[in-house]
Amino acid sequence: MRIHDLPTPALILDRAVVARNTERMAARVAGTGVRLRPHMKTAKSARVAELATAGQFGGITVSTLAEARYFAAAGIRDLTYAVGMVPGKLAEAAAIQRDGARLTLLTDDPGAATALADKASELGERFDVLVEIDSGGHRGGVAPEAPELLAIARILDEAENLNLAGVLTHAGHSYHCQGVAEVKAVAEQERQAAVRAAARLGEAGLPCLTVSAGSTPTALHAESFEGLTEIRPGVYMLFDLDQVGLGSCAVEDIGISVLASVIGHQRPHNRINIDAGSLALSQDRSAEEFLPDVGYGWVMAPDGRTRIGDLHVAAVNQEHGMVAGASPLPFDALPVGARVRVLPNHACITAAAYDRYHVVDGGDEVIDVWDRVNGW
């Protein structure tokens, strides 16, 4: 089967590109002493995880318990759930561990740490727990110098069924850097926050085996990983226009695209409609911070590599994408029924609308279908 035979919209993954991206990250960490614990929240696919963990220690990061269940069932035994844990999810986490995986948890709250300790004892299941550190993104975590750091760490360390496993931070603000120099500065800030928090635990006589940091931009551009034990980039496997804008990759490194059909012409309004709208592309506009004409994604030829002029998806409704660009648009070259491929603004969000990837390997032949895990 060739791409042209697929129903649209469909999510295409180019294995050759993804393999190159995962090899690039493997080369990046080789010899640095840090372990690569790839974040599977973007790709959510066991087959992509095989590429991302090849040659590595085998652990991964997940963003949902659904991912944890799925990857554990696929044979991955060392998982970090990098979202703040609540007691209500602990029975599910225990079930995953009883099936043979280790699921490391995260908290940044003394009350939650105490409640997790109580619930773990009630369940009779032991968990490793990391303390989340705020390295400047201010989404979650305690500041490295905050008194709460030691308070939380002591609760975890003293709990009968919890182990204080270390510290974890994510410099989410790296996604809004203007240029590589700024990414390097954020990477250093991320590293120092994690290392400083770990040092405080050590000074207090508390264990801290894991010092975890990382986002794709900081993993790619950090000048030092000293003091870290692992990094957790994710979107580098697939990349997207946001990462192109950030300087993490080139357009040809983007490993997924949405295959769409032209479904209408609006010549009086100089628009071409495609069957990829809010659901098939997502409403994420993060790339717009860097690429002013990106809209909901660039419109490429069916080869996925050549942008068609300045075409982009300018507006979306549920099942309609409205393509804009030069006036007049190339209506004759893109008759109703013609195929295009749309590069995603933000791979994590676009891919979440699909339960599978149609896989090509550098060409237009569909060589495989890889499943994905969605939901919670």
Name the site residues for a second copy (rule: CB under 8 A): 7-10, 41, 63-65, 83-89, 92, 107-109, 111-112, 115, 132, 134, 138-140, 143, 172, 261-266, 268-269, 271, 273, 275, 278-280, 282-285, 317-320, 322, 335-337, 348-349, 352-355, 374-376
> Shortest distance, CB of residue 205 to a second copy, whole angstroms?
26
Q: 29 vs 93, which CB is nearer to a second copy? A: 93
> Shortest distance, CB of residue 117 to a second copy, whole angstroms?
13
Could you tell me where the DSSP H helices lie in 224-303? 241-246, 278-281
Q: In what order do the strands lie in the sheet with 210-213?
A: 35-36, 230-231, 210-213, 162-169, 127-133, 102-107, 78-81, 60-62
Residue with tokens 């997940």: 62
**Two tokens at 105?**
């948890």
Q: 198 vs 352, which CB is nearer to a second copy? A: 352
> Shortest distance, CB of residue 241 to a second copy, whole angstroms?
15
78-81/102-107 β-pairing: parallel
Packed helices 110-123 and 147-158: angle between N→C axes, nearest 10 degrees: 10
Distance of CA 58 to the CA centre of its chain: 17
- Contact between 209 and 155 (Cβ < 8 Å): no
Residue 307 dihedral angles phi and psi, to the nearest 5°: -70, 140
Q: 4 vs 23, which CB is nearer to a second copy? A: 4
Q: 190 vs 284, which CB is nearer to a second copy? A: 284
User: Torsion angle of alpha carbons 289, 294, 295, 299, nearest 10°?
Assistant: -160
> Shortest distance, CB of residue 308 to a second copy, whole angstroms?
18
| Sign of the alpha-carbon torsion through 273, 278, 279, 285 | positive
> Shortest distance, CB of residue 87 to a second copy, whole angstroms?
5
Q: 29 vs 308, which CB is nearer to a second copy? A: 308
> Shortest distance, CB of residue 322 to a second copy, whole angstroms?
7
> Shortest distance, CB of residue 297 to a second copy, whole angstroms?
14
Q: 17 vs 262, which CB is nearer to a second copy? A: 262
- Of the candidates 296, 181, 233, 245, which has an alpha carbon nearest to the alpha carbon of residue 53? 233
Q: 172 vs 344, which CB is nearer to a second copy? A: 172
